Structures are given as C-alpha cells and as structure tokens.
Structure 1
C-alpha cells in the first residue's frame, strides 16, 4: 500500500513543468518562508519571542530524535529500490525519518499551539513540504506520516514541559534585549 500510494503521487512528477518547479521550490526553499514568518513574529513582543524559542527547542529535540532513529534504523529511499521520477538528486540516506518533514511539523506545531495565524500558515507549508518530498521521489508516504508524528509529538511534549525551559528562554530574551539596548 505504501509503494502504491508513492507511485500514485510520484507518477504525477514530470508531467507539468510548472507543478514540478513548484514542488522543487517548496522542497528546497520553504525554509526561507519559515525564516520570514519567524522574523515577522520576532519583532512583535516578547511573547512571540518565547514562541519562537520554544519552537527552536522543539526543532532541536526533533532533530536529535531523527538522528537517533537513523543510527538504528535504515530504510532505503524509493529511488534506490524502484524506478521513480526523481526530479532533483538526493542523498542516499534513510527514507525514514524525513528530516524535512519532522522539522517542519515540529516548528509548525510548536507555533500553532501558541499562535493560531502564524501556526496555521506554517502547518500549511509543512503539509506542502511533506507532499513535495513524495512528489520528488525522495520519501514514501508512510515515512512522511511517521516523520510528521515525530515532529508533532515532540512539540506537544515540549509544550507540556515548558516549565523546564522557561527560565532558559526568558534568559535568552533578556540577553537579546541587553544586546540591542531595549529597556
């Protein structure tokens, strides 16, 4: 079923150059959209800075979980096993977990839990990013779903343990305010 779903999506690649270009852009450049959104949030008030810093903690933990899983589990990418429409080259590392997807959902969920508008936009970008990874031939759908769960659950766990990180986050904001001479 996983391979069939992958084929159904990946077969669409190479048929429409506009969609292919869009999927490549989403996969490679979405991080700049996230940075732009985070910058917009940062220059609001301190509550937004806290959201961003807690999101950073979630992304950091999600990245660690990703690396830990890859130490003990290897699943070949679709283009290694099957003939696929590979639109851009990719590393030949494990298909699961997808770093793009886990990090996108860790960031998006962490923001969504505290700020609905920016979080919803980021979630939409995370879904697009995840879909693009299948479209490009880099990941299977179940790998994407599992990676999304890693990001989401990591963010929820961090959100439920904010008391552990609150003094650290507050300290970072106070250092930032001293550096830029804000009272």
Structure 2
C-alpha cells in the first residue's frame, strides 16, 4: 500500500517542469518561510516571543529525536528502487528514508504555533503537509515515512507544551536576557549622543 501511494504521487515527477520546480522550491525553501514567521513573531511582544521559543525548542527536540532514530534504524530511500522519478537535490544513498527531517521540523514548528495562533498555525500546518507531499513527489520518502515524521514533529510539540513547567524558566530567562541586551544597547546609544 505504501509503495502504491508513493507511485501514485511520484509518477508525476519529471513530467511537468514548472510543477517540479515549484515542488523543489517548496521542499527546500519552506523552512525559510517558517524562519521568517518566527523572526516576525519574535519582534512583537513577549507572548509572541514565548511562542517562537516553544517552536524552536520543539524543532530542536525533533531534530535530536530524528538523529537518534537514524542511528538505530535504516530504511532505504525509495529512489533506490527502479522506476522512481528522482528530482534534485539528491540525498545520500546512506541517508535513511525514515524519519524525514524536513517534515518533522515543519510539523514541530507548525504545531507549536497552532497552540497559540490558530490561523497562522493552520497556514503553517498546510505548508508542513505540502512539504511532506513534496518529499514524496521528489522521490525521497515513502508516504508512511512522511506520516510517521509528521506525527513525530507534532507529538514532540505536544510533549514540549505539556512539560511547559520545565521550559518556562528557560524561556523567561532568554526573553529577559534579550530585554536586558536591548536596554543596554539603547542606553549606550543615548549616552554616545
């Protein structure tokens, strides 16, 4: 079933140049969109700074889990099978198909934001889904790898939120350190005038 769904999506890769370019750009560049959103949120108020830091923590934990899973589990990439349409950039043959780092990180950030900002989080969630689909289209992951990676990122964000008591002191210190830094810079700027 997994392979049939993969083939149903991947069969279109390489047929439509413009669509392939859009899929590649989306797959490779959505992280910059997420980064832009988080930076924009950081420069609003303290509640937005907290959301940004929760998203960063969730993505960081997802990244660590991704690395740990890849140390102990290897699943060959679909492009190693004959008949797979592969779009560049080409990953290493030694890189496991599960989990998908792109997908896990996108879902971790999107889920974190969705807890607090429904509309923005929904837009990020849609982008995360499209990121996962783009990885299948490009011939780099199987659908179950994408589904499991999306769950990994989402569940990581849920656990980070549920353990807020652990993260809140760290988050508050980071925000306070940022405000102290800004105050010092403003004070230095005024004293030099």
Once the two structures are superposed, residues 62-112 of structure 1 have per-residue CA deviations (whole angstroms, 9 ceiling, x without a partner) of: 111111111111000001133211111122200000000111101110110
Q: In the alignment, what sits opposite 1:135?
A: 137
SS at match of 1:47: helix
SS at match of 2:177: helix
Distance, in Å, in 1 between the alignment partners of 2:163 and 2:69 is: 23
Q: In the alignment, what sits opposite 1:162?
A: 164
Gaps of 5+ in 1: none
Gaps of 5+ in 2: 188-193
Distance, in Å, in 1 between the alignment partners of 2:14 and 2:58 is: 35
Distance, in Å, in 2 between the alignment partners of 1:96 and 1:42 is: 32
Distance, in Å, in 2 between the alignment partners of 1:97 and 1:82 is: 22
Once the two structures are superposed, residues 143-180 of structure 1 have per-residue CA deviations (whole angstroms, 9 ceiling, x without a partner) of: 00000000010100111110111010000001011111
Q: In the alignment, what sits opposite 2:22?
A: 22
Distance, in Å, in 2 between the alignment partners of 1:51 and 1:21 is: 32
Distance, in Å, in 1 between the alignment partners of 2:70 and 2:162 is: 26
Distance, in Å, in 2 between the alignment partners of 1:66 and 1:174 is: 31
Alignment of 1:10-49 (within 5 A): 10-49=10-49
Alignment of 1:18-167 (within 5 A): 18-88=18-88, 89-92=90-93, 93-167=95-169
Large movers: runs of 4+ above 6 Å: none
Q: In the alignment, what sits opposite 2:190?
A: none
SS at match of 2:58: helix
Distance, in Å, in 1 between the alignment partners of 2:176 and 2:3 is: 50
TM-score (structure 2 length as normaliser): 0.91
SS at match of 1:180: helix
Distance, in Å, in 2 between the alignment partners of 1:80 and 1:14 is: 17
SS at match of 2:74: coil
TM-score (structure 1 length as normaliser): 0.96
> Which 10-residue stretch deviates more, 11-20 or 136-145?
11-20
